Structure 1
């Protein structure tokens, strides 16, 4: 089955001008379209038209978009989602600007998930013919691409099973209350390729989002990103630090509307035969923030 990656995330913001300053001038995303109360963005190393949609009017996530490898994959995923009991409807090319035909579904977590095959190709900022390593005139952090997101739901296990059944995801790491077979699941990290986690699911509000993340190259870029956040008085939630889970390097911070962002570098590669890692609740501080080994209250309570 052909889910290739998380293709886009559609977020709500309270003030578009403040949001544009944050996503364009701090994160360094490129504005590719503006219409009504929405703006579309891409990172400099993304070739499809957009990966982030901002819509003025509230906070939190509106929907996620997933790109498949083959057009026939859409019908296959539709059947699997319906068999699981999800609400599924067809969407037509143009329902989302520059996005082709696909399906729209609501899974157990209450999130709207869209699956599509084609999006207008915009091209990377360095092109595909003898390209440079990066654009000469990056703005701010210069985030190259969207990386992953963490959604919330009170029933993590059910959403985990949904992703396995419909998207062919597998779990790379998890946090359970204990190591017993009947343990409650607090969080899972999931993928279907070598990216260690395309989506994570955390125990929290139904239909909520904890954060969405942009990939950076290395630890130095993560540190530089934190410096730029300090220069702009951007609220930092935690970091720079390292995760025990995923082993990635990270800074968590907030956009002006209160949506949590992350910049993320490094981390493990996934393989289907790699043994799944299980963390227990008493060690979750080490798992999330490897250096401090404790969670701050804001990190565990703020969702949008």
Structure 2
């Protein structure tokens, strides 16, 4: 067993592109329940009520939907330097940027799957004003929320045409741990679920069905429990957001879930639960089917759109 790397701490933020900026912003604030903390240069910066950092979502006006970039926070400035050196040794040509709202300097690079990613350490902590402060000193903000009340950023799912190559790059250079993967008999690997510490997953990599790279499958925020996912189903319906898939339970990760498309077309998940991994010698679980022949652990069958829709959409 190789010595595990623990130099990346967690998924820090993601940037989503949208061709309908005002409609997408209204969705994330009024329906999804994020707080708007800043707007600048055609972008909005948002956070969930349980996020400790100032912002975890950057929403940017663009001519198409998709992923602008995804940011991973390191555990220290020294870890940042070591991981950048590892990326450059691997041949991942990148560049430093001065930073953005909520975080300091970052090293940007493109993953083998085509998505732009960045590593950073310096992050601005959220300081709640008096009207949003929690009575709990160890909670960044009051849990009284709007809409579905998305609490904190949880994971991201990106598409790749070569999943083994993409996950090996993330594991070898950045320290992701393969927790589970899906390899149907006689077929190439179609999904891999990786985490940095003890979560079920911070990153999922699933198969790209088209001759393209760099696309987003979904971005997920967590809520506190399953009942919040069920409540979210009612809220989405009451506020006019069609449900694409769920509520149901994933076989892999064992997360309870619900998926919708925000107005710009990006798939967004509400997620609760999921297994926690404490064993340092965890052996990756290989699935050959979706839940013993079912399309999920239990619940609804996977709709066709879940395997065909990603952003940017293709002609």
TM-score, length basis structure 1: 0.92
Number of equivalences:
298
1:242 is aligned to 2:249: yes
**Cross-structure match for 1:194:** 198
Whole-angstrom distance in 1 between the partners of 2:144 and 2:90: 48
Contact (CA 8 Å) 1:285, 1:293: kept in 2 or not?
Answer: no
Answer with 289-298 or 114-123: which moved more.
Answer: 289-298
| RMSD of aligned alpha carbons | 2.1
Deviation at 1:290, TM superposition (A): 2.1
Whole-angstrom distance in 1 between the partners of 2:141 and 2:68: 31
**Cross-structure match for 2:283:** 275
- Indicate the SS of the match to 2:234: helix
1:28-177 aligned at under 5 Å gives the runs 28-57=33-62, 58-92=64-98, 95-123=99-127, 125-126=132-133, 130=137, 135=142, 137-177=144-184
Pair 153,128 (structure 1): closer, same or farther in 2 beyond 3 Å: farther
Pair 120,242 (structure 1): closer, same or farther in 2 beyond 3 Å: same
**Cross-structure match for 1:21:** 26
Pair 102,221 (structure 1): closer, same or farther in 2 beyond 3 Å: same
Deviation at 1:126, TM superposition (A): 3.8
Q: Tell me the alpha carbon deviations over residues 143-199 of structure 1, each in whole angstroms, 9 at most, x when there is no partner.
A: 110100100010111110111111111111101132x8xx62111000120111000
1:251 is aligned to 2:258: yes
TM-score, length basis structure 2: 0.89
Contact (CA 8 Å) 2:150, 2:221: kept in 1 or not?
Answer: yes
- Indicate the SS of the match to 2:169: helix
Contact (CA 8 Å) 1:4, 1:69: kept in 2 or not?
Answer: yes
Whole-angstrom distance in 2 between the partners of 1:203 and 1:232: 32
Contact (CA 8 Å) 2:134, 2:142: kept in 1 or not?
Answer: no
Name stretches of at least 5 consecutive residues in structure 2 with no aligned partner. 1-5
Pair 140,68 (structure 1): closer, same or farther in 2 beyond 3 Å: same
Pair 29,172 (structure 1): closer, same or farther in 2 beyond 3 Å: same
**Cross-structure match for 1:262:** 269
- Indicate the SS of the match to 1:87: coil
- Indicate the SS of the match to 1:49: coil
Pair 283,27 (structure 1): closer, same or farther in 2 beyond 3 Å: closer
Contact (CA 8 Å) 1:26, 1:141: kept in 2 or not?
Answer: yes
